[in-house]
Structure 1
Amino acid sequence: MTSTAPVQLDTGWPPPPFHAPSPAVTGTDGVRRFEGLTYATSPGYRPRLLDIHVPPAAGPVPAVVWIHGGGWLEGDRRYPPPTVPVELLHGAVLGAGLALVCVDYRHSLEAPFPAQLHDVKAAVRYVRHHAAPLGIDPDRIGAWGESAGGHLAALTGLVRADTHGAGLEGAEGVREGSSAVRAVVDWYGVSDIEPFLVHAMPSSPGEGSYPNPVHALLGGPEAERRERARGASPVTYAADGGAPPFLLVHGREDAVVPYEQSEALARVLSDAGGEVTLRPVEGADHIFLGSAEVPAIVAHSVDFLRRHLTA
């Protein structure tokens, strides 16, 4: 049996570029679930949606923003990579007393970078703006992503409007408030895009017409891609200092995003005085294929976020 908890809705016309949370559905496990909330809209694009799962608690809880992968070309907020069961991911986060926010963002053939970062930052601002009715602590939000989502999680933690200007912050959805996060977990994300301009990222197996993921992300003519690549690379901003704590987890045998990508980001963050932990996964390919460590990796990631968001 489920029950609903009323939440105040926005009214009036014209409608805002985002919608206030619709009523939650509370399951028998006590988890309140807000499904398909619109956090941003733009003419000509599909509405950007997110789901929020809030564990039972006496007061506001910290939140983790989960960012899916898919080469910036595909993917869905509802599905982790096939090596990570939904029940494992959701259960670990909620069991640690953290809310889970799963976000969709514009794919690269809908809009090139920085649209994807704009969307993730808009999702963080949305959650912070509506924290009270959601039962979330607005001061304790972290970011966690895998592959393309790991790249976006890293940028979300590193790019700040006061240091890097408003161009990467975007003006989607809720415009006021901070998009800062207090901790980042980056699973096998790209940290430096420039090498992929020379050595292309592998395409999806069996799809000969699959676009080049990096070219699709950067858009524009080839002559401009190197400068665009620098602006889309987390290592560009990691040296500026002020980063939140980072956990980087990467397979040693990753044939899509080489392990050295996380090594490079860890080195720059450490040199800038940041707190960073790099966990190699021996024998693992992309999405941790070939590894039996996935449950332990999920547990490590959730514990890292719990410690930094509840401290």
Structure 2
Amino acid sequence: MHPRLAPFLAPPDPTVLPLPPAAHPADGVRLLRAVPYAVHDGGRPLELDVWLPEETPGEPLPVVVFVHGGAWRTGLRDDPGPRFRTWRPGPFARLARAGFAVVCPDYRLSGEAVFPAPLHDLGAALEWLRTRAADLGIDPERVVAWGESAGGQLAALLALTTTPALRGCVVWYGATDLTAAPPHTPEAALLGGPAADAPERAREASPVARVRPGAPPFQILHGDRDTVIPVAQGEALAAALEAAGTAADFRTVAAADHLWIGATEADVERCFASLLDFVRSRTR
């Protein structure tokens, strides 16, 4: 290969690629869909969606980074769970109308790479946001992470390990302790094997073990009848945060299984309202 071809055959730099034209999925909302933010050699490009208010505000927008669930092995970046799929407008559009940018990134799944790959991907998404902040009209210093299920575990780790610190984190029915993950489970697939075979990796993947003084405030919501990730996981994270001197607003949702299955529609609405209140309080 001639040396002059090398620059043209290298993967594109996502920090300088042009942003796509905006779609308008709901009144008052712009959507930049499938924006590449990282390109891994030998792997698929990782993309994110950016939801924005239609009107450009006078100051940079605070940001909510949504991390999707799916047992670390599946899931869609624009899906906050089955209880929200019929909402019109949906949760992301509602947040954009309320004056936030909402960023929904892909991350590598357990069939592609083991932990800490997905956490590194989310960190790369934050770096991309900092680089493109002026282009997007966002404030990279006012970021709250929000994740559900597997995404809750990753959002919590992002909030506990990122420098500069995020403003806060919302965890919906997330796994918080993977140190006892048995074989042939989604947790073991994330770790590359049962926790007993990789104890240090299991500890690094457990938010309860990564809590530190100075961590940002958390809001933790968990169904009291969760049969997938027991409510004790949410309780354990809240207790660890409080022991470290960090504010942790822990709430249970009555009669709710995983994904808010079994919860009343009013309770699901309250979960979203609690999220919105928390994000507002943390990004003023």
Counterpart code for 2:19? S
**Aligned CA distance change for structure 1 residues 119 and 66 (closer, same or farther; 3 Å):** same
Distance 1:262 1:32 in 2: 34
Distance 1:272 1:187 in 2: 21
- The aligned residue for residue 181 of structure 2 is 196
With structure 2 as the length reference, what TM-score do the two structures score?
0.89
Distance 2:206 2:244 in 1: 16
Shift in Å, 1:231: 1.3
- The aligned residue for residue 185 of structure 1 is 170
In the alignment, structure 1 residue 304 sits paired with structure 2 residue 275? no
Counterpart code for 1:147? S
- The aligned residue for residue 131 of structure 1 is 133
- The aligned residue for residue 252 of structure 1 is 224
Distance 1:279 1:92 in 2: 22
Distance 1:40 1:117 in 2: 13
Shift in Å, 1:54: 1.0
8 Å CA contact retained: 1:96, 1:306? no
Distance 2:196 2:220 in 1: 32
Distance 2:280 2:178 in 1: 30
Q: CA RMSD, aligned part only?
A: 1.9
8 Å CA contact retained: 1:192, 1:235? yes
- The aligned residue for residue 73 of structure 1 is 73
Shift in Å, 1:281: 0.5
Counterpart code for 2:218? F
Q: How does 1:122-161 map to 2 (within 5 A)?
A: 122-160=124-162
8 Å CA contact retained: 2:51, 2:93? no
Distance 1:101 1:31 in 2: 13
In the alignment, structure 1 residue 104 sits paired with structure 2 residue 123? no
Shift in Å, 1:118: 0.5
Shift in Å, 1:140: 0.7
Shift in Å, 1:273: 0.4
- The aligned residue for residue 202 of structure 2 is 229
- CA offsets, 1:78-108, max 9 Å, x none? 2221112363312331132111101111001
In the alignment, structure 1 residue 25 sits paired with structure 2 residue 27? no
- What's the secondary structure of 2:33's corresponding residue? strand
- The aligned residue for residue 217 of structure 1 is 190
Counterpart code for 1:48? L
Distance 2:150 2:179 in 1: 15
With structure 1 as the length reference, what TM-score do the two structures score?
0.81
Q: What is the aligned-residue identity percentage?
A: 45
8 Å CA contact retained: 1:62, 1:140? yes
Distance 1:40 1:75 in 2: 18
- CA offsets, 1:156-210, max 9 Å, x none? 000146xxxxxxxxxxxxxxxx5x421100001111112333xx7xxxxxxxxxx
Shift in Å, 1:127: 1.0
- CA offsets, 1:283-305, max 9 Å, x none? 10001110011111011111101
8 Å CA contact retained: 1:98, 1:306? no
**Aligned CA distance change for structure 1 residues 287 and 220 (closer, same or farther; 3 Å):** closer
Counterpart code for 1:192? D
8 Å CA contact retained: 2:28, 2:97? no
**Aligned CA distance change for structure 1 residues 88 and 212 (closer, same or farther; 3 Å):** same
Distance 2:40 2:129 in 1: 19
Distance 2:22 2:178 in 1: 41
**Aligned CA distance change for structure 1 residues 227 and 138 (closer, same or farther; 3 Å):** closer
- CA offsets, 1:112-169, max 9 Å, x none? 00001001111111112101010111211111000000000000000146xxxxxxxx
Distance 1:128 1:17 in 2: 15
Shift in Å, 1:223: 4.8
- In the alignment, structure 1 segments of 5+ residues that lack a partner are 1-11, 162-177, 201-210
- CA offsets, 1:21-77, max 9 Å, x none? 514326383433211111101111111000001112233110101110000000011
